[in-house]
Amino acid sequence: MIVVEGQQFHLTNSRISYIFTIMKNGQLGHLYYGKALRTGRDYSHLEDYESVRPNTTHVFQGDPGFTLETVKQEFPVYGKGDFREPALLMEAEDQEVIGDFLYAGHEIQEGTPRSEYLPCTSVKEEAEAETLIVTMQDKRRNVKLRLFYTIFEELDVLTRKVQIVNEGESLVDVQRMMSLSMDLPDDDYEMVHLSGAWARERHIVTRPLAPGIQGISSRRGSSSHQHNPFMALKRPHTTEHHGEVIGVNFVYSGNFLTQAEVDHYGGVRVSMGIHPERFSWRLNPGESLEAPEAVLTYSDQGMNGLSQSMHQLIHKHIIPERWRKRKRPVLINNWEATYFDFDEDRLISFAKEAKNVGVDLFVLDDGWFGRRNDDKTSLGDWFANEYKLPNGMGGLATCIKAEGLEFGLWFEPEMVSPDSELMKKHPEWVVGKEVGHRTLGRNQYVLDFANPEVVDYLFERMASIIDETDLHYIKWDMNRNITEPYSQYLHRQGEFFHRYMLGVYDLYNRLTSKYPDVLFESCAGGGGRFDLGMMHYAPQAWASDNTDAVERLKIQYGTSLAYPLSSIGSHVSAIPNHQTMRETPLSFRAGVAYFGTFGYELDPGSLTEEEKAELTEQIATYKRIQPLIRQGSFYRLASPFDSDRTAWMIYDGKVGEGVIGWYKALASPNPPGTQHIRLAGLETGSLYEVNGEEYYGDELMQVGLNTGVEFNGANHEHMERSGDEQYRLYFIKRVARERGSL
Ligand code: GLA
């Protein structure tokens, strides 16, 4: 519901409220964001205009209390007396800063705003969301800002973005354009973010806020392994299940900036947008520019509450509608099994074995094209490697399908090898001005996706392979970051990074529109582009090149803070693990991989008959869990960042079913006695059956599920519970419903 009363705008859905006002200078001032407040009230007492501060600038003669340096703003503009980080910096042709944006009107629309060329949230029914668009105008230059605020009816989520429209007669240059800026009145928060590196993506980092700017960002041309765009601000005492937390995320996959600035009066400015470094955008008269959408969530139910809102948003409003209800295939990928060393015969026998154990889809990874036998050659030459695949892609696809499997392929469309036919033919398609002055990454260069001809070429190549193979799945990889950011096609290089992303989205858009049944999995050297922009096209993403199950506990647990299990590509791989050399039991590897989009990354032909039978059982177990992953709510119960024990659960209250995963990475000597994990999300008075035993919901949530005694040492009858890398699955089913419960 969006209520406009006097000068105030109140967006609420009875659980959250976002309130702002038109200030006395005509700009927008922020009043409140948090748990719902009632409508029909005047909240002008939340304005803080009257505290006179020495040594500040002020807007009106004789009114020193009204200073932009201290008021909470909605979309602060550079150069007008607010010395905190601005949301907008824009210059006119004569280089004067354009900054007098005053309220000029508003409208309210049902649904979410559409975007022509950017990924964004969407609704099935218009009534699921409502959007307020406030227009701000600089009359002298005749430039308008359209600020979009969308509130979802059933979710504790708001989204924001801005569009800049040049209605004047001369050009303007945009140098900084945040999608979201929000001023919080106090700084009693801890900042939580997901940071790491290749093979250890999205580890949870928590730190108290301190005066000054703290943030995360990427200037790599992708959202990055190092920092995910997601950030949360939680109260220091907020836990997984209790307390207040605000989260932000970005529907974008390129350079970003997410930050919290604690000012000198203890307020916090939260900003999120495209990273301003090497960003500038010229708007000629009549042109407009749209910022990517930013997502804002609030929960008073702790980090879990926040995560669940994010998960639902992604599931219901970000991933392609077609994939919301559809079962995802259990896949097998040949990468770690064969690397570049395969031919048609080897792949067919690999597929046969995979089919025998019950896999649905076979994915042929890197090495099937050009002359590619290692990572030094042929990216860009998207034609079958004739030596390995003499019957072409069509021939191979026919054989794989004849085995009863679906067929998927790896592509890395954005890249070119210096040693490739494409590079010889189109040196002008490569990012970076001059040959000899380009930095290599995994022996490859980046193609200039800001150039529409490049996108056309990739579309033609990929479409032709999809047609030839009648493909079911594509793994779209991106294995290096962008250096020497320079497009030989563009005239204004400040536009390069963003236009590059628009080219990537254009290709995704064209492929997913023409081939809506092809399932895309995004990947960037593992989880280097795990973001909401990608999820708009590719509902799942390869979470990490690290397939070690112990490491995956942290990666998947961290990822779940912002992203649903249905987006987390998680596979069982061979031992010793290729990233850590660790040897974990096959069952433990599956136990971790079940909580994601399950698959394999090993050669089934190399397994013993017992192991093959175990794979078949694992697939059956996963298929039992799969509907819960799609429809249930996920609860983190014990963190691998706190101890060697991890626990999590999925529960679908509608059907009264769930599953709990409990893991012990390392055994500890002489451990405590009987252990319990406290479950979450159940109905207190309902009766549940867990692995054959009955308990009431309150017992399971207050006392916890008895996970037994951990023993150490040999010759014990409970030997199976001792040692490292143990795991248990507990299936939970509601057997009697509490009277009066939902
Ligand atoms: C990246 C991916 C891997 C694999 C290789 C192929 O590293 O993350 O899964 O596809 O590329 O070169």
Domains defined for the chain, CATH in brackets: 2-317 (2.70.98.60), 321-413+444-627 (3.20.20.70), 638-736 (2.60.40.1180)
Residue 52's pLDDT is 79
- Of the candidates 444, 521, 525, the one whose C-alpha atom is nearest the C-alpha of residue 197 is 525
Point out which residues pair with 521 in neighbouring strands.
475, 540
- Give the tens place of pLDDT for each residue, 405-422: 999 999 999 999 999 999
* CB-side neighbour CA atoms (13 Å) of 57: 8
What distance in angstroms lies between residue 593's CA and the mean position of ligand 1's atoms?
18
Distance CA 415, CA 426 (A): 13
Residue nearest to atom 2 of ligand 1 (CA): 525
Instruction: Verify whether residue 477 is a known catalytic residue.
Output: yes
Point out which residues pair with 569 in neighbouring strands.
542, 597
Residue 55's pLDDT is 85
- Mean pLDDT of the chain, nearest integer: 96
Q: Which atom number of ligand 1 is nearest to the Cα of residue 475?
A: 10
**pTM above 0.85?**
yes
Residue 668's pLDDT is 84
Q: Which residue among 198, 336, 545, 600 is best mutated to probe the pocket of ligand 1, counting the most ligand atoms within 8 A of its Cβ? A: 545
Ligand 1 near 336 CB (within 6 A) = no
- Where are the strands (E) in 335-487, listed by range? 361-364, 406-411, 415-416, 445-446, 473-476
**Mean pLDDT, rounded, for 429-440:** 92
Residue 423 phi, psi (nearest 5): -65, -40
Helix (H) or strand (E) holding 158: strand 157-166
First-to-last C-alpha distance (Å) of the chain:
25
What distance in angstroms lies between residue 525's CA and the mean position of ligand 1's atoms?
5
- Where are the strands (E) in 422-481, listed by range? 445-446, 473-476
Q: Which residue among 331, 366, 520, 570 is best mutated to probe the pocket of ligand 1, counting the most ligand atoms within 8 A of its Cβ? A: 366
Q: With cut-offs at 50, 70 and 90, classify the pLDDT of residue 717.
A: low
Residue 714's pLDDT is 55
Distance CA 700, CA 706 (A): 9
Residue 742's pLDDT is 46
What distance in angstroms lies between residue 413's CA and the mean position of ligand 1's atoms?
13
Ligand 1 near 201 CB (within 6 A) = no
Q: Which residue among 198, 335, 409, 597 is best mutated to probe the pocket of ligand 1, counting the most ligand atoms within 8 A of its Cβ? A: 335
Q: With cut-offs at 50, 70 and 90, classify the pLDDT of residue 710.
A: confident
Q: Which amino acid is at 685?
A: G
Residue nearest to atom 6 of ligand 1 (CA): 366
Catalytic pick among 138, 506, 531, 545: 545
pLDDT cut 70: percent of the chain above it = 98
Angle at 382 between CA 379 and CA 387, to 5 degrees: 90
Ligand 1 near 293 CB (within 6 A) = no
Q: Above 60 in pLDDT, residue 290?
A: yes
Least confident of 260-264, 605-609, 710-714: 710-714
Q: With cut-offs at 50, 70 and 90, classify the pLDDT of residue 21.
A: very high
Q: Above 70 in pLDDT, residue 736?
A: yes
Residue nearest to atom 12 of ligand 1 (CA): 366
Q: Above 70 in pLDDT, residue 611?
A: yes
Say how many C-beta atoms besides its own lie within 10 A of residue 366's C-beta.
Answer: 22
Residue nearest to atom 7 of ligand 1 (CA): 525
Q: Above 60 in pLDDT, residue 652?
A: yes
Q: Which amino acid is at 468?
A: E
Q: Which tokens is 416 given?
A: 């070119």
Distance CA 522, CA 323 (A): 14
The DSSP call for residue 727 is: E
- Of the candidates 602, 564, 173, 70, the one whose C-alpha atom is nearest the C-alpha of residue 363 is 602
Q: Above 80 in pLDDT, residue 721?
A: no
What distance in angstroms lies between residue 526's CA and the mean position of ligand 1's atoms?
7
Q: With cut-offs at 50, 70 and 90, classify the pLDDT of residue 64.
A: confident
What distance in angstroms lies between residue 139's CA and the mean position of ligand 1's atoms?
52
CA–chain centroid gap for 712, Å, is: 40
Distance CA 20, CA 329 (A): 46
Say how many C-beta atoms besides its own lie within 10 A of residue 156's C-beta.
Answer: 25
Q: Is 46 helix (H, G, I), strand (E, B) or coil?
A: helix
Q: Which residue among 336, 476, 523, 579 is best mutated to probe the pocket of ligand 1, counting the most ligand atoms within 8 A of its Cβ? A: 523
| Helix 344-357 vs helix 392-402: crossing angle, to nearest 10 | 30
Q: With cut-offs at 50, 70 and 90, classify the pLDDT of residue 51.
A: confident
Q: Above 50 in pLDDT, residue 134?
A: yes
Ligand 1 near 542 CB (within 6 A) = yes
Ligand 1 near 449 CB (within 6 A) = no
Q: Is 351 helix (H, G, I), strand (E, B) or coil?
A: helix
Instruction: Verify whether residue 545 is a known catalytic residue.
Output: yes
CA–chain centroid gap for 708, Å, is: 36
Ligand 1 near 335 CB (within 6 A) = yes
Please, are residues 411 and 466 in contact by the beta-carbon 8 Å criterion? Answer: no
Least confident of 35-39, 56-60, 73-77, 142-146: 56-60
Q: Above 80 in pLDDT, residue 695?
A: yes
Q: Is 676 helix (H, G, I), strand (E, B) or coil?
A: strand
Q: Which atom number of ligand 1 is nearest to the Cα of residue 524?
A: 8
- Give the tens place of pLDDT for each residue, 301-327: 999 999 999 999 999 999 999 999 999
Q: Above 90 in pLDDT, residue 2?
A: yes
Please, are residues 136 and 144 in contact by the beta-carbon 8 Å criterion? Answer: yes
Please, are residues 118 and 506 in contact by the beta-carbon 8 Å criterion? Answer: no
Ligand 1 near 410 CB (within 6 A) = yes
Residue 673's pLDDT is 79
Q: Which residue among 410, 529, 573 is best mutated to probe the pocket of ligand 1, counting the most ligand atoms within 8 A of its Cβ? A: 410
What distance in angstroms lies between residue 257's CA and the mean position of ligand 1's atoms?
27
Catalytic pick among 156, 183, 365, 477: 477
Ligand 1 near 196 CB (within 6 A) = no
Ligand 1 near 172 CB (within 6 A) = no
Residue nearest to atom 11 of ligand 1 (CA): 525
Q: Above 60 in pLDDT, residue 285?
A: yes
What distance in angstroms lies between residue 477's CA and the mean position of ligand 1's atoms?
7
What distance in angstroms lies between residue 443's CA and the mean position of ligand 1's atoms?
14
Q: Which atom number of ligand 1 is nearest to the Cα of residue 375?
A: 12
**Mean pLDDT, rounded, for 136-141:** 97
Residue 685 phi, psi (nearest 5): -95, 0
Point out which residues pair with 73 in neighbouring strands.
29
- Of the candidates 26, 176, 19, 160, the one whose C-alpha atom is nearest the C-alpha of residue 101 is 26
What distance in angstroms lies between residue 90's CA and the mean position of ligand 1's atoms?
40
What distance in angstroms lies between residue 328's CA and the mean position of ligand 1's atoms?
21
Ligand 1 near 525 CB (within 6 A) = yes
Ligand 1 near 292 CB (within 6 A) = no
The DSSP call for residue 219 is: -
- Give the tens place of pLDDT for each residue, 77-109: 999 999 999 999 999 999 999 999 999 999 999
Ligand 1 near 365 CB (within 6 A) = yes
What distance in angstroms lies between residue 530's CA and the mean position of ligand 1's atoms?
14
Q: Which atom number of ligand 1 is nearest to the Cα of residue 410?
A: 10
Please, are residues 29 and 72 in contact by the beta-carbon 8 Å criterion? Answer: yes
Q: Above 70 in pLDDT, residue 484?
A: yes
Beta-carbon contacts of residue 215 (< 8 Å; ≥ 6 apart)? 231, 257, 258, 259, 260, 271
Residue 473's pLDDT is 98
